């Protein structure tokens, strides 16, 4: 048959199609009883019309997929084909079922080779997603097993088909269409002599399935991030810094952002409230800066609640009772909760000039707009950290940073973009700009804040969702679709997280909680 002669149309089956359907089923299923009775098909169409899918060529039926609704918990466990119907051969369709059950897929032998079966399977998957059903289940015959039954068990046969050492016309096709074998079914269809009565219980999991829940409890899948490319400048008072921060929070809230992001140590210009001579003692200067942190925490938490926005407050210096100094990123939830992530890797300059120490803990934070991680500047250059966060189902990684030169910035940028690709997540990079010669260690800044995505068809060709003008104070917005992460992690061109050779290597976080006098966990709960 010439391709020029094909005029294919995908549609739902109707009761008027039964004569053609009977002819097709008798031809394809001649070895297991042929066509369903007319009343069976009419009842199935009546109860679940969307699930009965047909392909016609110039009004001739050439392919059909028959489907029922079932309860997942019942049919994801061992069962027989007879469990799907009553004694009158009426298929037991469950109107409130949370899964689809693939009864039959049949293609006219004259039309094989045109991948029509795949077209029907894709239509089933689209229907499963649109109806928000948990999965597609199917009992799959293994019609070539009778050729090998004398030399191997059914389990060995399934293993060799899975490894493509044996071809089975049904199982090989189902595996190629992303179905997974859940278990072997015995006496599934006793009259199926070619399969020796065996079948596979197969499942295609709907990765976008969302259990029914109240609207208020539903987590957002469309998230708007607003980042502030903050200009370091001289400020005359603490109030002036807070006023500038509130201006940006207000603006980001007006644009319905879910997050407002600030750079690392964005309040560092407050060291300039000391004169230049006092700043020469840099340890004293950084302790002076730490003295403002509690007030900033109080005010930023108020802003998060008042403006209904989650604030990733870059980072600030915190001094503990033992005199140790830490670089801490605070997450101010819009419900008033406050959480913290310490910088773990301290740069040589931070250690040398400010005696900053690194924290000891790392975690993913649950928010009302996704699961997020925070790595402060230098930390993003250590890929183990973001991989540990990815193992905790992180959606968005925030990287507040402070770099002085372009080559320093590019180290952070390139590492951040690599983290987005290898961990299949979004990465938000937020830095500061401006020159403040009057303040020690703040003479120059360089930044181009950006938002990176995984690199696949659902995202921009360069995997950059948004970026600012370099070295200019401004705000940046980006809308992040969390469902795209679910899809790329399961069905992407490559699936980095799934394909890791964990039989060869693994990554573990060492627990130092037993140590006395431990450093900050980075996941403390503070009173708002």
Q: Residue 83: give its domain's CATH number.
A: 3.40.630.30
Following DSSP, what letter does each residue of 152-210 receive, concatenated? Answer: S-HHHHHHHHHTTSS--TTHHHHHHTT-EEEEEESSSSTT-TTTTT-EEEEEEE-TT--
Looking at the fold, whether 153 and 14 belong to one and the same domain comes out as yes
Residue from 115, 134, 12 nearest 67 by CA: 12
Please check whether residue 300 lies inside any domain of the structure: yes
Beta bridge partners of 224: 479
Domain termination site, one of 175, 205, 235: 205
How many residues are given for the chain? 528
Find the angle CA(506)-CA(510)-CA(514) to the nearest 5 degrees.
Answer: 155
Q: Does residue 27 have a pLDDT over 70? A: yes
Stated as kind and residue range, the H or E segment containing 129 is helix 116-130
- Calculate what percentage of the chain has a pLDDT beyond 90: 73
Beta bridge partners of 204: 136
Contact 451, 225 (CB under 8 A): yes
Catalytic-residue membership of 339 = no
Q: Is 36 helix (H, G, I), strand (E, B) or coil?
A: coil
Average pLDDT over residues 84-91: 82
Please check whether residue 508 lies inside any domain of the structure: no
Q: Report d(CA 117, CA 111) in Å as an integer.
A: 10
Catalytic-residue membership of 297 = no
Q: Looking at residue 213, what is its pLDDT?
A: 63
Q: What is the Cα 406 distance to its own chain's centre? A: 32
Q: Report d(CA 78, CA 139) in Å as an integer.
A: 10
Pick the catalytic residue from 299, 350, 377, 425.
377
Q: Report d(CA 355, CA 189) in Å as an integer.
A: 73
Looking at the fold, whether 173 and 229 belong to one and the same domain comes out as no
Q: Report d(CA 248, CA 261) in Å as an integer.
A: 10
Looking at the fold, whether 183 and 237 belong to one and the same domain comes out as no
Domain termination site, one of 160, 177, 205: 205
Please check whether residue 127 lies inside any domain of the structure: yes
Q: Looking at residue 438, what is its pLDDT?
A: 75
Q: What is the CATH number of the domain that holds 459?
A: 3.60.110.10
Please check whether residue 447 lies inside any domain of the structure: yes
Following DSSP, what letter does each residue of 388-414 receive, concatenated? Answer: HHHTTT--EEEEE---SSHHHHHHHHH
Q: Is 26 helix (H, G, I), strand (E, B) or coil?
A: helix
* 174 vs 213, residue with greater confidence: 174
Looking at the fold, whether 420 and 363 belong to one and the same domain comes out as yes
Q: Looking at residue 1, what is its pLDDT?
A: 56
Residue from 146, 62, 154 nearest 108 by CA: 62
Most confident of 73-87, 352-366, 514-528: 352-366
Range of the domain at 242: 222-492
Q: Is 35 helix (H, G, I), strand (E, B) or coil?
A: coil
Looking at the fold, whether 321 and 197 belong to one and the same domain comes out as no
Looking at the fold, whether 239 and 171 belong to one and the same domain comes out as no
Pick the catalytic residue from 56, 203, 264, 473.
264
Pick the catalytic residue from 203, 297, 299, 343.
343
Residue from 375, 373, 380 nearest 412 by CA: 380
Residue 233, classified by CB atoms within 10 Å of its CB into exposed (0-12), middle (13-18) or buried (19+), is middle
Please check whether residue 462 lies inside any domain of the structure: yes
Other Cβ atoms less than 10 A from the Cβ of 137: the count is: 22
Residue from 477, 354, 495, 364 nearest 422 by CA: 495
Q: Report d(CA 313, CA 260) in Å as an integer.
A: 8
Q: What is the 3-state secondary structure (H, E, C) of 323-346?
A: CCEEEEEEEECCCCCEEEEECCCC
Looking at the fold, whether 146 and 180 belong to one and the same domain comes out as yes
Reported as a single tens digit per residue, the pLDDT across 435-487 is 887 777 677 889 999 999 999 999 999 999 999 999 999 999 999 999 999 89
Reported as a single tens digit per residue, the pLDDT across 226-279 is 999 999 998 999 999 999 999 999 999 999 999 999 999 999 999 888 876 676
Catalytic-residue membership of 125 = no
Q: Looking at residue 455, what is its pLDDT?
A: 95
For residue 490, which phi and psi values (nearest 5 degrees)?
-110, -30
Q: Report d(CA 504, CA 469) in Å as an integer.
A: 43
Plot region of 463 (φ>0 → left; ψ -120 to 50 → alpha; else → beta):
left
Q: Looking at residue 524, what is its pLDDT?
A: 39
Q: Looking at residue 23, what is its pLDDT?
A: 94
* 304 vs 190, residue with greater confidence: 304
Contact 402, 432 (CB under 8 A): yes
The pTM of the full predicted model, rounded to 2 decimals, is: 0.80
Q: Looking at residue 266, what is its pLDDT?
A: 95
Contact 313, 299 (CB under 8 A): no
Domain count, the chain: 2
Residue 500, classified by CB atoms within 10 Å of its CB into exposed (0-12), middle (13-18) or buried (19+), is middle
Contact 258, 326 (CB under 8 A): no
Looking at the fold, whether 262 and 319 belong to one and the same domain comes out as yes
Q: Looking at residue 525, what is its pLDDT?
A: 39
């Amino acid at each position: 048959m010439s391709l020029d002669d094909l005029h294919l149309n995908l549609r739902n089956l109707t009761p008027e199609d039964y004569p053609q359907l009977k002819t097709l089923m008798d031809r394809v299923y001649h070895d297991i009883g042929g066509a369903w009775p007319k009343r069976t098909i009419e009842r199935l169409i009546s109860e679940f019309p969307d699930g009965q899918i047909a392909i016609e060529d110039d009004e001739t039926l050439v392919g059909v997929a028959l489907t029922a609704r079932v309860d997942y918990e019942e049919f994801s466990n061992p069962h027989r084909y007879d469990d799907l119907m009553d004694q009158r051969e009426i298929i037991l369709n469950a109107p409130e079922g949370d899964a689809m059950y693939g009864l039959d897929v049949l293609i006219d032998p004259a039309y094989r080779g045109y991948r029509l079966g795949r077209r029907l399977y894709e239509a089933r998957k689209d229907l499963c997603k649109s109806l928000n059903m948990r999965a597609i289940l199917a009992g799959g015959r293994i019609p070539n097993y009778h050729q090998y039954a004398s030399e191997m068990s059914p389990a060995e046969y399934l293993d060799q088909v899975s490894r493509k050492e044996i071809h089975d016309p049904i199982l090989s096709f189902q595996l190629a269409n992303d179905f997974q074998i859940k278990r072997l079914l015995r006496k599934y269809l006793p009259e199926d002599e070619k399969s020796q009565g065996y079948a596979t219980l197969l499942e295609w999991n709907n990765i976008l399935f969302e259990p029914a829940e109240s609207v208020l409890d539903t987590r957002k899948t469309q998230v708007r991030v607003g980042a502030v490319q903050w200009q370091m400048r001289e400020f005359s008072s603490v109030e002036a810094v807070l006023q500038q921060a509130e201006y940006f929070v207000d603006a980001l809230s007006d644009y319905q952002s879910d997050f407002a992001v600030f750079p690392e140590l964005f309040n560092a210009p407050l060291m300039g409230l000391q004169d230049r001579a006092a700043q020469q003692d840099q340890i004293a200067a950084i302790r002076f800066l730490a003295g403002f942190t509690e007030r900033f925490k109080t005010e930023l938490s108020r802003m998060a609640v008042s403006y209904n926005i989650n604030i990733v407050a870059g980072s600030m210096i915190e001094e503990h009772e033992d005199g140790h100094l830490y670089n801490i990123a605070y997450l101010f939830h819009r419900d008033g909760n406050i959480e913290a992530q310490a910088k773990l890797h301290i740069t040589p300059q931070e250690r040398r000039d400010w005696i900053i120490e690194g924290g000891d803990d790392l975690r993913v934070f649950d928010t009302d707009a996704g699961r997020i991680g925070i790595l402060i500047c230098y930390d993003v250059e250590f890929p183990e950290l973001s991989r540990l966060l990815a193992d905790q189902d992180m959606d968005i990684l925030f990287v507040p940073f402070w770099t002085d030169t372009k080559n320093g910035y590019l180290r952070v940028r390139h590492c951040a973009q690599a983290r987005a690709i290898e961990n299949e997540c979004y990465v938000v990079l937020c830095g500061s700009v401006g020159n403040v010669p009057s303040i020690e260690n703040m003479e120059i800044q360089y930044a181009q804040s950006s938002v990176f995505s995984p690199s696949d068809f659902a995202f921009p060709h360069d995997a950059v969702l948004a970026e600012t003008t370099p070295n200019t104070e401004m705000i940046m917005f980006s809308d992040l679709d969390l469902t795209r992460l679910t899809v790329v992690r399961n069905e992407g061109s490559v699936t980095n997280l799934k394909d890791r050779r964990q039989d060869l290597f693994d990554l573990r976080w060492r627990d130092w909680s037993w140590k006395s006098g431990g450093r900050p966990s980075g996941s403390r709960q503070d009173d708002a």
